[in-house]
Structure 1
Amino acid sequence: EEGSEGFGLREVFAHDTLEKSAAFLATKTPSTAEHPSLLVALASPPAATRRFVLFPYACGNASTFVELARHLPADAEILAVSPAEPSAAPQAVASIAELGSTVASHLQMLPDLPTVLVGYSYGGYLAFDTARRLEAAGAPGHHLAIVAANPPGVTTELDWIAINDDQTILDYSRRVYGFDPDGLAPTERDAYLALLRQQTRSMVEYEFGEALPASTPTTILTGDEEEDEGIRDGADAWRGIVPHARFTTLPGRHMLIKSHPQALASRLSVLAAMRLPG
């Protein structure tokens, strides 16, 4: 089962809570009629005092964050982004800039709440682009948290995905992402590989532009056993585009969201409680 129509609930980086994830998301509704599969509300408490907006890794969607959401504060509105259906044709997948523009526009229509934009790997670029657009629009009250993402200009792993054959990438997905491609039908496997390559390429091509002002507090989070050396040692590259960034190490490897969701949620909750500039 892929879940409710319009949500794209197949989690290609599958884990042992998939059935619970699908059941949980089946009770949720899209947060916007204009882009029904882009933003999904994972939690909408009636008296929310803060908000998390969660952007997934490549080939991920809203179900990526179901387990993490369970450990975030009960008074938080939690929105998750589904950038593309795994079955989407590559030419139909929006660019990072297009997605950032759409999400930023939607967030500006919501009631003001202290907000943490959380981007995981590929989602880190989406979160950065969204934060930059909100900053340009003068929208207040946002922290930016980038988790396990390639720093600007550090593309060794991204380039590696672009040049390698299907089986090599599938083996890498199994070893690093904890995803067993044997569970996919041939058409699903092909769609996964196409989307992974397309979203990875979009990261290489993304232009960060000018440095993000300090009025958007930014934290870069990395696993202490991160497999990609470029991510693990990327502080200097990040400082070029986010000079005010703080750097935090969490337990785990690249997929620490699966192995240590509570530790990640705890750190994000601290960010949500921090006083914003202004």
Structure 2
Amino acid sequence: MPDCFLTRGGDRPARVFCFPYAGGDPRVYLEWQERLDDHVDVVAVCPPGKAHRAHESLPVFDDLADDLATAIADEVGADPRPAQLFGHSFGGLLAFEVARRLRDLPAVGHLTASGVSAPSLLPSDRVRRIADLDGAEFADALAYFGQFPPEVVADKDVLNLLLPGLKADFDLAVGYRYRPTPPLEIGVSIIVGTEDPHVGDVQVAPWAKECVEPPEQLRVAGGHFYFDPDPEPVLSLLRAHAEATTHVEVI
């Protein structure tokens, strides 16, 4: 398996490729494996600059989406189990653009975009403004998303470790340019926290233009990081999609 993928999975009937949010460690998704039971193998997508690839520099957004789409296409070509894509926040946008590039790959059957506005609205003015900040101002601005608890913001040593990668992700997000293409023919789900200050109904509505069938929309209790500490709302969704792609009726 390429070094852009991390997994603790095995030979479960389906797979989900999980894209990290800005500043996120893709390895956190591996903690979901045990709770997904026998339904789906978790494959954490690890772009340059993350985890064991921390020494690698990030490419521009389109090149990153191209590279990850190629890697997933190669992986699914070698192992054609049904696959779905999941991404939160910036990872949801990246998963969407990868789904666009994989539209001719039958094995990839569903996209779940979590905590992210419709791509046609991105990058938002708020993200642009935050990306222009540095140091403590940048960290303070991220409190809006619930990215850091107060004790982390107050710890300069911890911030010095976390901020460079997060700032690189924000710069990458600001470089995104939406381009209209034919809508996705696969299933699309949008899941957002009820108290998310960044993504509301206005930001979700234009997702309908990105898919042939109206997207499934779920609002769950919590803020932007609604799945912390309990990811069950999104795990239930991933289980259901995996079961839908692998279920065979016996008559």
Normalising by the smaller structure, the TM-score range is 0.7 to 0.9
State whether structure 2 residue 92 is matched by structure 1 residue 124.
yes
State whether structure 2 residue 44 is matched by structure 1 residue 80.
yes
**Structure 1 position 114, deviation (Å):** 1.7
* Structure 1 residues 187-219: Cα deviation after superposition (integer angstroms, max 9, x where no partner): x63463333233223223323323453422111
* Structure 1 residues 61-87: Cα deviation after superposition (integer angstroms, max 9, x where no partner): 222213333322324221001222379
Aligned to 2:133: 164
Q: Which piece of structure 1 moves more, 122-131 or 165-174?
A: 165-174
State whether structure 2 residue 6 is matched by structure 1 residue 40.
yes
Contact 1:88/1:191 (8 A) holds in 2: no
Q: Which piece of structure 1 moves more, 54-63 or 189-198?
A: 189-198
**Structure 2 residue matching 1:213: 3-state secondary structure:** coil
C-alpha change, 1:132 and 1:267, in structure 2 (3 Å) is same
C-alpha change, 1:79 and 1:264, in structure 2 (3 Å) is same
Measure the CA separation in 2 of the matches of 1:275 and 1:72: 15
Aligned to 2:58: 93
Aligned to 1:67: 31
State whether structure 2 residue 200 is matched by structure 1 residue 236.
no
Contact 2:32/2:42 (8 A) holds in 1: no
C-alpha change, 1:221 and 1:123, in structure 2 (3 Å) is same
- Aligned with residue 229 of structure 2, among 255, 259, 263: 259
Contact 2:19/2:94 (8 A) holds in 1: yes
Measure the CA separation in 2 of the matches of 1:119 and 1:216: 16
* Structure 1 residues 135-168: Cα deviation after superposition (integer angstroms, max 9, x where no partner): 1x44443200000013222403312312334223
Measure the CA separation in 2 of the matches of 1:231 and 1:70: 31
Measure the CA separation in 1 of the matches of 2:58 and 2:194: 32
- Size of the alignment, in residue pairs? 235
Contact 1:252/1:260 (8 A) holds in 2: no
- Give ranges in structure 2 of 5+ residues lacking alignment: 247-251
**Structure 1 position 131, deviation (Å):** 0.7
Measure the CA separation in 2 of the matches of 1:67 and 1:41: 10
Amino acid across the alignment from 2:110:
H
Aligned to 2:19: 55
Aligned to 2:114: 147
Contact 2:17/2:42 (8 A) holds in 1: yes
Measure the CA separation in 2 of the matches of 1:66 and 1:271: 18
* Structure 1 residues 211-260: Cα deviation after superposition (integer angstroms, max 9, x where no partner): 453422111110111121x4453122323334532211122111112133
**Structure 2 residue matching 1:208: 3-state secondary structure:** coil
Aligned to 2:175: 205
**Structure 2 residue matching 1:92: 3-state secondary structure:** coil
- Aligned with residue 67 of structure 2, among 102, 113, 132: 102
C-alpha change, 1:212 and 1:184, in structure 2 (3 Å) is farther
Measure the CA separation in 2 of the matches of 1:239 and 1:204: 23
**Structure 2 residue matching 1:219: 3-state secondary structure:** strand
